[in-house]
Amino acid sequence: MSRLRKAGLARQVKLSYVSAEPFLGHFGIGGLPHGESLLSMFLRKEHITAVLDTGMDRVEERRVVLADGRSIGFAYAMIVPPFIGQEVIRSAGPIADEKGYVKVRDTYQAQGYDNVYAVGIAAAVDVPWQTATPVGIPKTGFPTERMAHVAARNIAAQIRGETPRSREAFGDMPAVCVMDAGNNGVIILADKMLPPRKHGVLIPGPQAHAMKLGFEKYFLWKARHGYVQLP
């Protein structure tokens, strides 16, 4: 929306946001306190219409046809397809589920295969809820690093001839996420990735955008110089 305002087009454009989430602020992790009201307020402020609890069936000329039969016309659309596992994994038999994710234990070893590890988007995660439209679980960024640390410690233990003992269930990892939304954003903090939780908070504001820019520059600097020991 900020780019539309800069171009002087904000009053001429109608924006729609389509999501499989059952409610705003679900984020694929079951939601956090006040998340729905916060996101609703943000969308009203930016004049964005939310279309929830549905997927996309197909894209036709200048319109998106939704799974529930509705259609939304567009002049410009940005579509993020659902993640699926690689074909090589989907065809690997019992190691993967029907979507091509590797079924892992909380050591991030594949079930039944002690020498095979999977982390991040490659790992299958059980969700504690069912929704009318399947909702994906975010497994990139912070949780990927947590899983990778567990896997790395266990791989090192196996190399030393020891039993892998490091473990951390995905749902028990802390939730730490910074979502950017133009010149604004939301910081998500919770004691656990998936409910039930004891603590969870959403912190909106422009500081989220600044943090995202800062992290991007830090991460690229760290990667270019090989400082893998840094957080």
- Is the pLDDT score of 157 beyond 70? yes
DSSP label of 54? -
Domain-wise residue ranges, the chain: 1-81, 84-171, 174-225
pLDDT at residue 2, rounded to an integer: 67
> Is residue 47's pLDDT more than 70?
yes
For the whole prediction, is pTM greater than 0.85? no
pLDDT digits (tens, 9 = 90+) for 107-144: 999 999 999 999 999 999 888 888 888 888 888 888 99
pLDDT > 70 in the chain, percent: 99
* pLDDT given for residue 93 in this prediction: 81
Please check the confidence at residue 1 and state whether its pLDDT lies above 70: no
Residue 229's identity, in one-letter code, is Q
Mean pLDDT over 167-180 rounds to 92
Q: What is the pLDDT of residues 61-82, one digit of tens each?
A: 999 999 999 999 999 999 988 8
Q: What is the dihedral of CA 93, 96, 97, 100, to 10 degrees?
A: -100
Domains 1-81 and 84-171 share a fold: yes
53-91 residues labelled b (16+ CB within 10 A) or e (exposed): bbebeeeeeeebebeeeeeeeeeeeeeeeeeebeeebbe
Q: What is the pLDDT of residue 53?
A: 94
Task: Specify the CATH superfamily of domain 1-81.
Answer: FAD/NAD(P)-binding domain (3.50.50.60)
Cα atoms in the 13 Å half-sphere on the side-chain side of 24: 17
Among the ranges 38-42, 66-70, 127-131, 180-184, which has the highest mean pLDDT value? Answer: 66-70
Percent of the chain with pLDDT over 90: 58
> For residue 186, how many C-alpha atoms fall within 13 Å in the half-sphere facing its CB?
16
Q: Which CATH superfamily is domain 84-171 in?
A: FAD/NAD(P)-binding domain (3.50.50.60)
In 3D space, the residue among 100, 92, 101, 94 whose CA is nearest the CA of residue 120 turns out to be 101
Q: State the DSSP H helix or E strand holding residue 126, giving kind and residue range, or none if neither.
A: none
Residue 213 in this model has a pLDDT that exceeds 80: yes
The torsion defined by the Cα of 161, 96, 190 and 45, in degrees rounded to 10, comes to 150
Cβ proximity of 217 and 223 under 8 Å? no
| The pLDDT of residue 231 | 78
Summarize the confidence of residues 176-181 as an average pLDDT: 86
Q: Which residues does 179 contact at the CB level (< 8 Å), separation at least 6?
A: 185, 186, 187, 188, 208
Q: What is the pLDDT of residues 92-102, one digit of tens each?
A: 888 998 888 99
Measured in whole angstroms, how far is the alpha carbon of residue 166 from the centre of its chain?
Answer: 24
> Residue 90's pLDDT is what?
84
* CA distances to 101, 137, 143 from 125, in Å: 9, 8, 12
Three-state DSSP at 188 gives: strand
**Residue 183: pLDDT over 80:** no
Query: How far is residue 184's CA from residue 212's CA, in Å, rounded to a whole number?
Result: 10
